[in-house]
A and B are shown apart, each in its own frame.
Chain A
């Protein structure tokens, strides 16, 4: 203790105090669309008890949450909803992508399933598994707490520096090649895929 301070006063950094409070009261927003959602429920239930880490307050309103857990595959009809939920969450906020489907699309490589939610929203932490065990999700939560404690700032300036998308580019050239090789029927009205130049401009990398 520093000399001259009263007994119940201690010195710390403001950032560290904020991080301590934030990391120990993460309120998850469960975006559970598939079997990962069942594991998420099991994590919250008594045997694994996510309350031990201060994250038991599952709120079904994004306005009251600061940790988005994307549990399960995201289909293209649901993606605008997911983006809207993410935008509605107040700062500071973080996102965990839980399971193979949320991270990469998993085995569902079809026209309807988005190949990883990190293509369209920023993700802080990926949890592998199909579905991950509750222990794995708890480990991810602890890792999330460590990340907040190490990188967090009081005013959230670390978020503002993340100006580039972290996930893979939405347009991969393989898909474009396949779309160009396809011979569509004359009477079939279909979405016009972007040209190669447009895709490169949108951030696709040349193979």
Chain B
């Protein structure tokens, strides 16, 4: 069962809470993210990580931070869901990997790394998961053009005579 008072007493009152319809959300500072998630898992029963993704707030109205990383947790006993969000900024695009807590974080963290370039120290195998390995950009960043910067054209042309 989620208890905000316990979290605030232990990790400081920088943790803010909000709700939208049946979404229950907290925003936590990045430096205490891992201990908070560990506490949520071991003491408050959130035993499944349903989703891990990121948001780029570049040019977003009213935004003060560049990236938000979102963890959606589920308590499989009482079906309670909790959305944990933390904000990070360049050049320190690093967050501790939550792979030791939930094994489902494996591919999700790889995807966030692939699309946003956010690094998760402690991940067992942080490689690109969707884009080719030789790809160097991070395509879901807002400063990356939708049509790419030439990657989709960078292949040899085979004519009929030489095939």
Interface residues of B in 114-163 (CB under 8 A from A): 130-132, 135-139, 141, 143-163
Chain B residues closer than 8 Å to A79, beta-carbon distance: 155
Give the docked Cα–Cα distance between A80 and B154 (Å): 11
Interface on chain A toward B: helix, strand, loop, or mixed SS? loop
B62 within 8 A of A: no
Contact of A171 among B130, B135, B148, B153 (CB under 8 A): B153
Give the docked Cα–Cα distance between A83 and B156 (Å): 9
Most chain B C-beta atoms within 10 Å of own C-beta, residue among A86, A188, A189: A188
Contact with A along B89-117 (1 / 0, CB 8 A): 01100000000000000000000000000
Query: By the criterion CB–CB under 8 Å, are A122 and B158 in contact?
Result: yes
Chain A residues closer than 8 Å to B141, beta-carbon distance: 188
Give the docked Cα–Cα distance between A32 and B149 (Å): 27
Chain A residues closer than 8 Å to B160, beta-carbon distance: 122, 159, 162-163, 166
The total of chain B residues at the interface (CB under 8 A) is 32
The total of chain A residues at the interface (CB under 8 A) is 44
Chain A residues closer than 8 Å to B162, beta-carbon distance: 163
Give the nearest-CB partner of A163 in chain B: B161
Query: By the criterion CB–CB under 8 Å, are A170 and B153 in contact?
Result: yes
Most chain A C-beta atoms within 10 Å of own C-beta, residue among B132, B135, B151, B153: B153
Query: By the criterion CB–CB under 8 Å, are A175 and B150 in contact?
Result: yes
Residue pairs across A and B with CB atoms within 8 Å: the count is 109
Give the docked Cα–Cα distance between A179 and B127 (Å): 27
Query: By the criterion CB–CB under 8 Å, are A171 and B139 in contact?
Result: no
The distance from the CB of B105 to the nearest CB of chain A, in whole angstroms, is: 24
Give the nearest-CB partner of A167 in chain B: B157
Contact of A164 among B143, B148, B159, B163 (CB under 8 A): B159
Query: By the criterion CB–CB under 8 Å, are B147 and A175 in contact?
Result: yes
Query: By the criterion CB–CB under 8 Å, are A162 and B159 in contact?
Result: yes
Contact of B158 among A76, A111, A120, A182 (CB under 8 A): A120
Give the docked Cα–Cα distance between A171 and B154 (Å): 8
Give the docked Cα–Cα distance between A191 and B139 (Å): 12
A87 within 8 A of B: yes
Query: By the criterion CB–CB under 8 Å, are A187 and B90 in contact?
Result: yes
Give the nearest-CB partner of B154 in chain A: A191
- 12 A–B contacts, CB within 8 A, in A order: A83-B155, A109-B147, A111-B139, A111-B147, A112-B148, A119-B157, A162-B160, A163-B161, A165-B159, A188-B137, A191-B136, A191-B151
Residues of chain A at the chain B interface (Cβ within 8 Å) = 76-77, 79-80, 83, 86-87, 109-115, 119-122, 159-167, 170-171, 175-176, 178-179, 182, 184-185, 187-191, 193-194, 203
Other contacts beyond A111-B139, A182-B149: 10, CB < 8 A: A76-B132, A86-B158, A109-B147, A120-B158, A163-B161, A165-B159, A179-B145, A187-B90, A187-B91, A188-B143
